[in-house]
Chains A and B, each alone.
Chain A
Amino acid sequence: MTDAALSLSVVVLALALLAAAMMVRRARLWRIGKPAKVDWMAGLAALPRRYLVDVHHVVGRDPYAARMHALAAGGLLGGSAFAALALIPPLGASRLFWVAITLAFAVALAGGYMVGRRRIPVKPPRLSGGRFQRLPFFLAGYSLGAFLVALDAALGGAIWPLAWLGLWLAAAGGFGLVLQIDRGPMRHAFAGAAHLVAHPRPGRFEGERTTALLPLDLDAPRLGAATPSDFAFNRLIGFDACIQCGRCEVACPAFAAGQPLNPKRLIQDLAASLQPNATNGSYAGSPYPNARPVAGVGGPELPIVGTGAMIHPDTLWSCTTCRACVEECPMMIEHVDAIVELRRFQTLELGALPAKAAPPLMEMRYADEPGGRPLKARTDFAAGLTLPLISAKGGAEVLLWLGEGAYELRYGRTLRALVTLLHRAGVDFAVLGEEERDCGDLARRLGDEATFQRLAAENIATLARYSFKHILTADPHALHALRNEYRAFGGDYEVVHHAALLDELVATGRLPVGALAEVRVTYHDPCYLGRYNGEFDAPRRLLDRLGLERLEMERSGKRSMCCGGGGGAPVSDIEGERRIPDLRMGQAAATGAAIVAVACPQCSAMLEGVTGERPQVADIAELVLMAADAVTTLQPVPAA
């Protein structure tokens, strides 16, 4: 073992100790958070799987990033660990061992080159600059230096002047890297691991789609989150885990529309405010589009939202809760949970909602319906159709949940198509009629948990009076509330989306359909059906059964783009440069499709609101009805 190699081992060990100290210093900040139930043992045991499978799955959507990480992180950690182990005499004396170390740092150097190549000479806009731009130099310095020392040791001291130069390089680069643990890019390495262990939604790693918002205890002394200390500690770890890769900002519909929301910046503002006397000054990524001015100061016990704080309220209310950012986040951060937690405080404690969002909540409080319309009028869309009431029948196989869209003329047409199809297929169904209250989705996304919980309790009490096998709905927002969010309040239902039911009816032949003339159609995934509930296939299968030529948009499936209708965004109405539905319709038009197939009243309303020449908007039920009509005209059903 050469003297330089021995020094390298000592330097690596010293750097490791320094790194540990930096990590402890940062981790102590997490203690300001509220306690949370975390299964540490299970989390620790699952860490390798969560990292190598779940995280890799997301990172691997950008294969360059996956290879870069494998080389840089693998080489760096492996080489450093080996170099420290070389302090054990028999290992250190083995030249073969130093060959292994040399190879590890060569790999790390290749990774460091990839990190640099990605940012230099042109940094993609989604990546942050500042400290992040210095990272490749530290990485290269450390790995090149250590590589030279190890190579010298492997060669038995043949290039000793280079080795001593390398030692200094490795020490300087390593020191730079360690200093980046506190506030720089290296923080994601350890905070990310901690976040994977203590993740607030461990079900995400078990193949579940845990997307239901967590219930809020309405008797708590403070409702929602005002300051960083109001978040659970594992949420704070999540904020620290952010590596500012900017995949969320690329996916965010509000960001694309020029509304003042950038999920990356939001998480950075939250992470920055963990420490006392915090400012947002060191952020070097893309800003909130059309950012409203804020003071940009914060601290563990200081408010987060407000013009005198870190985050402007308009930023908070721009979110459509579409979960595109969560889907894209390689660190598994739960942006939407954080936004709703902040909204809850604004709404429940301060009553600080956007002016136009308050009236629908008020109507929901006193009339159980965001438009303040009579509950009895919900079935008006079905004038002339037979719409059995469950109160008259006592029970039915399928309970049809109409949702808020029933009041709207355009969506009424969709529901009329659905009701007609159910009759034609001989489905035993019924509706609640005036006993159906709003499901409370809008109230919950706007942070009004009190109204949501009241509506949930009253709907659950109503549903308990009737017997039915499952609930059918054409509204994915109602589906998500009934299927996933009512469970916490004692409502456990099997809820089916109309696309899934129609698909089954057509597949089993209960609903004969003819082929529609070869029309080009593209399917727009509703966020609350797709990303929230994992149902991507049934609507596509159904469209294929109708003989349509199905085209996929630039963004589809779980990476689909929101129509702009979720999360109360239409009523919050935060000003941007463009409209989200216009962007989405542009993507639909780019496929060359003549029809955009939708499966949600919000999507239908938002996309129908797009002006100018564009593809037609048709709900899946309407298309199925067209196909079913085609069969009755072409091949008359033989008289029974």
Chain B
Amino acid sequence: MRIAVLLSAGRHAVSGRPAPVPVELQAIRLAHDLGGEVTGLHAGPDAAPLKDTLGHGLPRLVHHRITVADDPLPSLAAALIEGAFDLVLAGRTGQGGEDTGLLPYALARQLSLPLVPDAAALAEGPQSGTLSVEQALPRGARRRLVVHVPALVTVHPAAPAALPFAFAAARRGAVEARPGLVAPRAPTQIEERPYRARPKLIAKAAAGASAAERLKAATEAASGGGRLLVDPLPEEAAREILTHLRDIGVLRSR
């Protein structure tokens, strides 16, 4: 399987220094574990900060050189068509760059590829030419989908941790530089404002309630409720589950 991993010029969330994007490193890990020929793709003015991805298990990195003013989309689309990849992996969003998370969707539309967002695990599908994707859903839920390749899959932070950095591999690895496509970005009408931290919304306890009550209110709002039974009898457990399902409306009470 030929796999492309899209890499963006990220920055460390705290220090602001150029750094690989964690979720893209996780994408490299998924590609590495799936096996096959893995290539990293980057379109941007400078790939030097991305050299470290070669230390996280990426065997090959191709840099399509464009200027800051260019849109990376056409360069990446052209590279993906040329490379005839079976699977394209991208992070869910970048970090420290533009971070919109829209690029994978724009690419999928342009290349007419199916897109599966938020993969936490990948495996060979049941038939050849298919891929089984485990999607990470809110609250720890998972959903397994099977897609026909070629496909574009974005990776969720719930995927397995990135492979640890190996300095020598990064040192030995080379970046193949190729010219990208000149594609000046359309001027946008986006207004930029400094970020304003908003207060976190938590469930309110009655005014003047004690700290313990406020804590209870704040934490209970996040939990699903229910009761904790330790080592119950199977019948009792089944009855309890049914009652709960009826209470929350999953089962109709008869």
Contacts and interface: CB of A to CB of B under 8 A. Distances in A.
Do A and B come from the same complex? yes
Interface of A: 218, 222-223, 347-353, 355, 357-359, 361-362, 365-368, 372-375, 448, 450
A446 to B, nearest CB: 10
Interface in B160-197: 161-169, 171
B12 interface: yes
A223 B164 contact: no
Given A347-B167, A355-B164, A366-B15, 15 more contacts: A223-B168, A348-B168, A349-B166, A349-B167, A349-B168, A350-B166, A351-B57, A351-B166, A358-B164, A365-B165, A366-B18, A366-B19, A367-B15, A373-B14, A375-B15
A358 B161 contact: yes
Contacts, number: 60
Contacts of B13: 372
A305 B10 CA distance: 35
Contacts of B52: 365
13 contacts: A218-B167, A218-B171, A223-B167, A348-B168, A349-B167, A349-B168, A349-B169, A353-B164, A358-B162, A358-B165, A361-B165, A367-B14, A374-B15
Contacts of A450: 167
A351 B55 contact: yes
A388 B247 CA distance: 61
Given A349-B166, A351-B166, A358-B161, A366 B17 contact: yes
A358 B52 CA distance: 14
Most chain A C-beta atoms within 10 Å of own C-beta, residue among B14, B56, B171 = B14
Nearest to A362: B165
A222 B12 CA distance: 30
Nearest to B52: A365
Sorted from nearest, which 3 A-B pairs have the closest CB atoms? A351-B166, A358-B164, A366-B19
Nearest to A377: B14
Contacts of A355: 161, 164
A365 B15 CA distance: 10
Q: Do most interface residues of chain B lie in helix, strand or loop, or is the interface mixed?
A: loop
A351 B56 contact: yes
A350 to B, nearest CB: 6
A362 B56 CA distance: 11
Interface of B: 12-15, 17-19, 52, 55-57, 161-169, 171
Nearest to B12: A366
Contacts of A375: 15
Nearest to B171: A218
A317 to B, nearest CB: 12
A223 B169 CA distance: 11
Given A351-B56, A366-B19, A372 B14 contact: yes
Contacts of A448: 167
Contact of B164 (A218, A361, A366): A361
Contacts of A365: 19, 52, 165
A355 B19 CA distance: 20
Contacts of B19: 365-366
Contacts of B57: 351
Nearest to B166: A351
Contacts of A218: 167, 171
A359 B164 CA distance: 8
B58 to A, nearest CB: 12
A79 B55 CA distance: 61
Contacts of B167: 218, 223, 347-349, 448, 450
Contact of A351 (B14, B15, B17, B165): B165
A225 to B, nearest CB: 13
Nearest to A352: B164
Given A351-B55, A351-B56, A351-B57, A368 B165 contact: no
Nearest to B13: A372
A429 B247 CA distance: 65
B204 to A, nearest CB: 29
Nearest to B19: A366
A365 B167 CA distance: 11
B166 to A, nearest CB: 3
A347 B164 CA distance: 8
A357 B161 CA distance: 12
Most chain A C-beta atoms within 10 Å of own C-beta, residue among B163, B167, B169 = B167
A448 B18 CA distance: 20
A473 B44 CA distance: 44
B232 to A, nearest CB: 29
Contacts of B164: 347, 351-353, 355, 357-358, 361-362
A113 to B, nearest CB: 54
Contacts of A366: 12, 15, 17-19
B14 A348 contact: no
A218 B168 CA distance: 9
A361 B164 CA distance: 9
A328 B167 CA distance: 34
B169 A351 contact: yes
A348 B172 CA distance: 12
Contacts of B168: 222-223, 348-349
Contacts of B161: 355, 358-359
A347 B170 CA distance: 12
Nearest to A348: B167
B166 A367 contact: no
B15 A368 contact: yes
A528 B169 CA distance: 32
